């Protein structure tokens, strides 16, 4: 059976291929690295969301001070 490597789009064989569905170890490691970098981006996003929450708290405290006046 022939498969196309998801990393480099080269045709490779499924049978007797230790790196399937990739054509080589290099392409397999490249794909794993891609996933790792995407996870890292999600972690960065979480930090941004936390910052937004802090700004909301600031706004709500200003609002309550206006209500007091």
Q: What are phi and psi for residue 11, nearest 5 degrees? A: -75, 135
Residue 28 binds Zn ion, judged by CB under 5 A: no
DSSP 22: S
Among residues 11, 19, 23, 63, which is the contact residue for Zn ion, using CB under 5 A? 23
State both tokens at 54. Answer: 């802090």
For residues 68 and 22, what is the distance between their CA atoms, to the nearest angstrom? 65
Residue 8 binds Zn ion, judged by CB under 5 A: yes
User: Which of residues 35 and 40 has its CB atom nearest to Zn ion in the complex?
Assistant: 35
Residue 7 binds Zn ion, judged by CB under 5 A: yes
Q: Which residues bind Zn ion (CB under 5 A)?
A: 5, 7-8, 23, 27
């Amino acid at each position: 059976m022939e498969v196309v490597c998801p990393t480099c789009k080269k045709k490779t064989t499924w049978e007797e291929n230790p790196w399937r569905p990739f054509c080589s170890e290099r392409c397999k490691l490249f794909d794993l690295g891609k996933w790792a970098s995407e996870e890292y981006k999600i972690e960065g996003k979480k930090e941004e969301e936390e910052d937004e929450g802090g700004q909301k708290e600031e706004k709500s405290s200003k609002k309550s001070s206006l209500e007091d006046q």
